[in-house]
Amino acid sequence: MSRRRHQPEPGDLIKIKRSVYQHWALYLGDGYVVHLTSADEGIRCLSASSDTTLSKKAKVKKQLLKEVVGNNDWEVNNKYDRSRTPLPVKEIIKRAESYIDREMSYDVLCENCEHFVTMLRYGKSVSDQARIGFGSILSFGAVVCAGIAVACAAFVSPRDKSREKK
């Protein structure tokens, strides 16, 4: 059974804790959420780990929260309210409902499910998950490059000093 911090209100962001990432939805009311999910009807949600590509097609769906959550833990998480002002609830819901059944692009770094629901709630998309994930990729890349440079330097032998004297 899934757990939650408190009962969601219309317009709330819902963070669903998956094994490797978090899936995000927006609560509409009456037990329903809207979320960005795979355009393939057989796949419940998108993640960077579910495919080797970072870009794909997605579809906006209205579903019962309990169906989207499954056995995963979830919570209301309006964390961006500290730095952004939410739109009026009626506007959030109207915007969300206007996207239902639309096909959209999906990119794990700049057009993911968190970007989508924050765009609905605040009028501007944001994703800490993508920013932190992208930062990790860059950090890992820097470490790999530094390691390659050190390895290359180890194979380059210093000039033979005895030859320089001749």
Catalytic residue ranges: 23, 113
Q: Would 136 be classed as within a structural domain?
A: no
Residue 43 inside a domain? The answer is: yes
Pairwise CA distance, residues 152 & 22, whole Å: 39
Query: 144 lies in a domain?
Result: no
Within a domain: 86: yes
80 in a structural domain? yes
Per the model's pLDDT, the better-predicted residue between 157 and 126 turns out to be 126
Residue 5, in any domain of the structure: no
Domain hosting residue 92, numbered range: 13-125
Domain membership flag for residue 134: no
What's the pLDDT at 143?
A: 41
Confidence of residue 109 (pLDDT cuts 50, 70, 90): confident
Q: What is the CA radius of gyration of the chain?
A: 22
Is the residue at 159 inside a domain? no
Type of residue found at 30: D
Q: Place 26 in a pLDDT band, splitting at 50, 70 and 90.
A: very high
* Number of independent structural domains in the chain: 1
Q: What pTM value is reported for the model?
A: 0.71
Q: What's the confidence (pLDDT) of residue 145?
A: 41
Q: What is the pLDDT of residues 57-107, one digit of tens each?
A: 899 999 999 999 999 999 999 999 999 999 999 999 999 999 999 999 988
Q: Read off the CATH number of the domain in which 96 is found.
A: 3.90.1720.10
pLDDT at 142: 39
